[in-house]
Amino acid sequence: MKPLLFCLATLALTGCTTVSMVSKQAIVETELTEQQSEVRERAEAFEAMAADEGWVMQSGGLSGLADMLFGADQSAADVTSQSYAQTIAASAEEPAAIFATVEADAATAARSLQELDLIATALLESGEVQRADLISFESALVTAQKCYRSFAEATGVVEGEASRERRETEAALRVLANVIDGARISADQMAAAYAANDTTGETLS
């Protein structure tokens, strides 16, 4: 009888300990998820803004496949398939107005990417980089590079001699290029941090 009571007591104690550990782990994971989700949310928001503003051509994806199968309005598809430079060229605006548009878009893209980079830097300092954060950040970085190419291409299609507007637009593009370079460094650091965390986890297990 005594061995049976001892076993029951041992199981009860073990069960209590397990519940306590799971509870603490859940709290830690919740706190980390809140911080990490900000990187993913801002990265997704940047990509959505780039697509909505027409800075990058929207990929077909599942919606594109559905349009092909069920027959979407072709005129609407033609509009969304135009590149940023094509849209700018078809706007029939004066060169000064076109340069102003490209400059404003490049500045907005640079500012948004820089804000995302700051959030990623804070995550790096916490030492808790997850795979989803890394993938989201790298995806936003690729989108930013596409935006830069779109802006540069649009600047190239505008006819006319060198002007103040062109110089200001090219300056905005250089700022965006510098921000992209900084984000690329952050992406490399995030990849290294994730790899280190993954290796540590495997060693502990």
Contact present, 34 and 122 (Cβ < 8 Å): no
pLDDT given at position 58: 67
pLDDT given at position 59: 55
| Residue appearing with tokens 């594109």 | 64
pLDDT given at position 82: 84
Extract the residue ranges of the chain whose pLDDT is less than 50. Answer: 1-30, 32, 35-36, 60-69, 72, 74-79, 201-205
pLDDT given at position 127: 85
For the chain, percent of residues with pLDDT exceeding 70: 65
- Whether pTM exceeds 0.85: no
Pairwise CA distance, residues 175 & 107, whole Å? 8
Cβ partners under 8 Å of residue 35, min gap 6: 122, 123, 126, 128
pLDDT given at position 198: 67
Write the DSSP string, 14-77. HHHHHHHHHHHHHHHHHHHHHHHHHHHHHHHHHHHHHHHTTSSPPP-HHHHHHHHHHT--HHHH
Our measurement of the distance from residue 186's CA atom to the centroid of its chain's CA atoms, rounded to an integer in Å, reads 12
